[in-house]
């Protein structure tokens, strides 16, 4: 069975029985807490001791088996589930609900030995090997697909009707180990995908700019996968391959979900644990929103690969902003989420792996709770004694029986949150949160296209997106992500931020205009609307399709060396910039909010604002070096539209509202004073919030 049949299935797959945004699986206020346990890593004699203890420590659920394919099927067709039956039963006896996983990330040795071409290839054409990593299979391989279907069917038929199983996780942190798969199976699937998308080679050549450097093909079979290992790959071909990969990764989840749904009870939910959207931009959680009940997410905060404060405690406190982003993006596909993996202590794969600051582990749990995660699952119960993650802390010491400092903090936070649960109300509202709720326009393809062709060595699409996202968090507003075809209403989301949304269709621009005219406040930035949806520049003036929206003309873009930055002044405050600056000629009625100070265009507009219909459009033409121009622009806009703003938070200090409680957390090395009203009742902490501090109050 070749892959194009799978792609046509994509649209017809069984839809989730739940309407979006209806977290009926997690109806009560508060959060449920759980832990990962790998029976396959420990002697069978210890299972009862360990699972009993997990129950005694107060966990509500336990997570099994995402890497245990070889234990479930030690030889082809020889299925062994008695061991899993036993731990499921032990879990039930100890009051623990079970998250059961499909083991697709780890194909057994007998399978890759029998079918070596089931393994994916990296961009140099090197095949993965069995003793390498996980997630090594080629998702495009029909052999992989058929074996996964069999093991998932076995699992689902055994546990799909089992009341002890709470829900299902498909695979683990969906992606391909090599990020992209360059195997012959992937090439064939890609070619078929291109046939479906473009129909004819003429259309393919037109889309890929065929005449440029004689890139045209006369037959689809002449298509090669464009690899960045070779110089100057065709950017349009590359974007198509990235988009194909995105759909292939999603299709693996959709296929597995369809099998599970044939057997699962309606009470059992199905999800996967999406990871690091920043490192895996070819993974798009929106593609599985109909097949899964919701998207779960994972986050390890202290790797030092993430965006953090950079101050003297950043390596111990980690990145609270990326926890926010991960939660809010995962939440946006179906309206609710849970965090499947949260580190309890040191991790093993960071640049270096510092001990968290005492209190940090507690803060992370509180933060995940405050963000609205329906469950928090700590990774993992016991620190592994062998293999590739030896130095990753569990909540127990290496003896397996003593709770370590991270575990103690995790359990402390659980206890504190549970104590306050009776005070929580599902329907509690905050007027500030409701009147500032912000939509963020999301498109993986857009990010990929900019990353394929940065145009300035310091362009970083993620940092640009985070510039705005962090500004929103400093205001304390909540963010929901939306895809291009689902622009929300201004009633539900009075603000819509779409930074550097480079590829825009005319339909999208019309939808944005309708949103604004109906009362929405839209923020656009530098590269917005530069290209059409296939990544070609418009055969019009620069960014001309968005001129009517921004109420001005964009004259040109400029880029500077970092050593000779330009400057922009807004309300008496000067900001530097160097990566990307668009010079704007405002039309009649359009206000200039900031101007360039220097270069040959000194005095021209850098930030503009215009009223349009019932709403407004703010255009930020440059990207500032310290992100302050953007923050102050957002502050001005939100202040004008939503009234007095309660928070003016330093970066990496966060405030969240959940079910009647306000929670502030501090990921910086300085104490911060929080503007908690005199009349508030404070449950934890004080208005002066120290590093790793948690402040919980009710207004």
Where does this chain bind ligand GAL (CB under 6 A)?
172-173, 275, 298, 300, 341, 347, 349, 379, 389, 392
- Contact between 377 and 339 under an 8 Å Cβ cutoff? The reply is yes
Min dist CB 476 to ligand GAL, Å, is 29
Q: Are strands 97-101 and 61-64 parallel, antiparallel or unpaired?
A: parallel
Min dist CB 448 to ligand GAL, Å, is 22
Q: What angle is formed at CA 531 by the lines to CA 590 and CA 493, rounded to 5 degrees? A: 55
42 versus 79: smaller Cβ distance to ligand GAL:
42
Distance CA 207, CA 227 (A): 18
Distance CA 113, CA 683 (A): 59
- Contact between 373 and 327 under an 8 Å Cβ cutoff? The reply is yes
- Contact between 608 and 591 under an 8 Å Cβ cutoff? The reply is yes
354 versus 676: smaller Cβ distance to ligand GAL:
354
- Contact between 85 and 92 under an 8 Å Cβ cutoff? The reply is no
Min dist CB 388 to ligand GAL, Å, is 8
Min dist CB 275 to ligand GAL, Å, is 6
Min dist CB 131 to ligand GAL, Å, is 17
172 versus 334: smaller Cβ distance to ligand GAL:
172
379 versus 468: smaller Cβ distance to ligand GAL:
379
71 versus 392: smaller Cβ distance to ligand GAL:
392
Min dist CB 349 to ligand GAL, Å, is 6
Min dist CB 612 to ligand GAL, Å, is 44
Distance CA 465, CA 394 (A): 33
Residue partners of 87: CB distance under 8 A and separation at least 6: 37, 39, 47, 51, 64
Min dist CB 249 to ligand GAL, Å, is 15
Min dist CB 319 to ligand GAL, Å, is 15
Please give the full DSSP string across 606-641, using - where no structure is assigned: EEEEEEETTEEEEEE-EEESSSHHHHHHHHHHHHHH
Min dist CB 132 to ligand GAL, Å, is 14
199 versus 388: smaller Cβ distance to ligand GAL:
388
Distance CA 342, CA 273 (A): 11
Distance CA 248, CA 112 (A): 20
237 versus 342: smaller Cβ distance to ligand GAL:
342
Min dist CB 35 to ligand GAL, Å, is 13
- Contact between 109 and 75 under an 8 Å Cβ cutoff? The reply is no
389 versus 460: smaller Cβ distance to ligand GAL:
389
Residue in 322, 268, 301 with CA at minimum distance from that of residue 379: 301
> What is the Cα Rg of the chain in Å?
26
367 versus 392: smaller Cβ distance to ligand GAL:
392
212 versus 391: smaller Cβ distance to ligand GAL:
391
Measured in degrees and rounded to the nearest 5, phi and psi for residue 440 equal -125, 125
27 versus 387: smaller Cβ distance to ligand GAL:
387
Min dist CB 510 to ligand GAL, Å, is 40
**Residues in the chain, overall count:** 699
107 versus 275: smaller Cβ distance to ligand GAL:
275
Min dist CB 341 to ligand GAL, Å, is 6
Min dist CB 174 to ligand GAL, Å, is 10
The token pair at 44 is 């069978």
Chain centroid offset of residue 121 CA: 25
Distance CA 93, CA 299 (A): 30
Min dist CB 298 to ligand GAL, Å, is 6
Other CB atoms within a 10 A radius of the CB of residue 208 amount to 25
389 versus 553: smaller Cβ distance to ligand GAL:
389
Q: What is the dihedral of CA 99, 377, 171, 237, to 10 degrees?
A: 150
286 versus 379: smaller Cβ distance to ligand GAL:
379
Other CB atoms within a 10 A radius of the CB of residue 357 amount to 19
Instruction: Give alpha helix (H) positions in 26-68.
Output: 47-56
Min dist CB 634 to ligand GAL, Å, is 32
Contacts of the segment 88-95: beta carbons below 8 A, 24+ positions apart:
88/64, 88/159, 88/162, 88/164, 88/165, 89/164, 90/47, 90/48, 90/51, 90/52, 91/51, 91/55, 91/62, 91/164, 92/164, 94/51, 94/52, 94/54, 94/55, 94/56, 95/55, 95/60
Distance CA 173, CA 421 (A): 30
111 versus 275: smaller Cβ distance to ligand GAL:
275
Min dist CB 105 to ligand GAL, Å, is 8
Nearest residue relative to ligand GAL (C-beta): 173
Distance CA 193, CA 431 (A): 47
- Contact between 581 and 622 under an 8 Å Cβ cutoff? The reply is yes
347 versus 629: smaller Cβ distance to ligand GAL:
347
341 versus 484: smaller Cβ distance to ligand GAL:
341
The token pair at 326 is 């991960």
Distance CA 645, CA 629 (A): 18
Q: Are strands 375-378 and 339-342 parallel, antiparallel or unpaired?
A: parallel
């Amino acid at each position: 069975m070749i892959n194009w049949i799978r792609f046509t299935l994509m649209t017809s797959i069984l839809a989730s029985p739940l309407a979006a945004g209806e977290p009926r699986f997690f109806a009560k206020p508060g959060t449920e807490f759980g832990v990962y346990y790998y029976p396959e890593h420990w002697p069978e004699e210890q299972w009862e001791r360990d699972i009993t203890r997990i129950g005694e420590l107060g966990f509500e659920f336990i997570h099994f088996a995402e890497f245990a394919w070889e234990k479930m099927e030690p030889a082809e067709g020889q299925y062994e589930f008695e061991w899993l039956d036993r731990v499921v039963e032990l879990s039930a006896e100890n009051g623990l609900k079970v998250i059961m996983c499909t083991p697709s990330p780890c194909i057994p040795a007998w399978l890759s030995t029998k079918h070596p071409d089931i393994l994916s290839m990296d961009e140099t054409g090197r095949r993965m090997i069995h003793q390498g990593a996980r997630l090594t299979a080629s998702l495009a391989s029909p052999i992989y697909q058929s074996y996964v279907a069999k093991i998932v069917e076995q699992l689902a038929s055994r546990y799909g009707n089992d009341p002890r199983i709470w829900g299902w996780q498909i695979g683990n942190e969906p992606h391909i180990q090599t990020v992209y798969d360059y195997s012959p199976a992937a090439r064939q699937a890609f070619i078929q995908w291109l046939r479906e998308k473009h129909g004819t080679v003429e259309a393919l050549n037109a889309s890929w700019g065929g005449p440029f450097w004689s890139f045209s093909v006369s037959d689809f079979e002449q298509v090669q996968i464009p690899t960045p290992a070779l110089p100057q790959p065709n950017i349009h071909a590359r974007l198509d391959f990235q988009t194909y990969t995105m759909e292939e990764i999603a299709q693996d989840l959709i296929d597995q979900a369809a099998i599970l749904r044939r057997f699962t009870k309606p009470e059992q939910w199905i999800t996967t644990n999406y990871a690091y959207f920043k490192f895996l931009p070819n993974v798009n959680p929106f593609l599985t929103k109909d097949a899964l009940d919701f998207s779960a997410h994972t986050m390890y905060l202290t790797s030092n690969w993430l965006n953090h404060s950079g101050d003297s405690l950043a390596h111990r406190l980690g990145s609270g902003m990326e926890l926010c982003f991960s939660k809010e993006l995962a939440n946006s596909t179906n309206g609710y989420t849970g965090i499947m993996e949260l580190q309890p202590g040191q991790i093993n794969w960071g640049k270096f792996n510092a001990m968290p600051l005492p209190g940090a582990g507690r803060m992370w749990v509180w933060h995940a709770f405050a963000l609205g995660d329906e469950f928090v699952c700590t990774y993992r119960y016991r620190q592994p004694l062998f293999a590739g993650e030896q130095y990753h802390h569990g909540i127990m010491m290496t003896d397996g029986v003593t709770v370590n400092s991270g575990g103690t903090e995790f359990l402390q936070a659980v206890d504190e949150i549970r104590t306050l649960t009776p005070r929580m109300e599902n329907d509690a509202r905050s007027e500030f949160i409701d009147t500032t709720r912000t939509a963020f326009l999301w498109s993986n393809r857009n990010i990929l296209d900019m990353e394929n062709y940065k145009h300035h060595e310091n362009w970083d699409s993620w940092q640009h997106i985070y510039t705005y996202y962090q500004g929103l968090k400093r205001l304390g507003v909540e963010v929901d992500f939306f895809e291009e075809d689902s622009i929300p209403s201004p009633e539900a989301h009075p603000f819509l931020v779409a930074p550097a949304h480079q590829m825009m269709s005319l339909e999208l621009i019309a939808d944005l205009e309708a949103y604004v005219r109906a009362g929405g406040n839209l923020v656009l930035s530098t590269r917005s609307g530069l290209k059409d949806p296939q990544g070609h520049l418009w055969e019009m003036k620069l960014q001309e399709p968005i001129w009517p929206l921004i109420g001005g003309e964009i004259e040109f873009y400029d880029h500077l060396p970092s050593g000779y930055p330009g400057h922009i002044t807004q309300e008496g405050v000067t900001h530097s910039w160097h990566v990307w600056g668009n010079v704007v000629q405002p039309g009649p009625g359009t206000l200039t909010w900031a101007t360039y100070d220097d270069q040959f265009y000194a005095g021209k507009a850098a930030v503009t604002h215009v009223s349009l219909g019932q709403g407004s459009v703010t255009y930020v033409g440059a990207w500032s070096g310290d992100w302050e121009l953007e923050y102050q622009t957002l502050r001005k806009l939100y202040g004008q539209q939503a009234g007095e703003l309660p928070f003016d938070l330093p970066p990496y200090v966060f405030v969240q509202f959940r079910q009647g409680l306000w929670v502030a957390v501090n990921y910086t090395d300085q104490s911060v004073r929080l503007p908690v009203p005199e009349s508030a009742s404070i449950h934890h902490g004080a208005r002066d919030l120290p590093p790793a501090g948690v402040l919980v109050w009710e207004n």
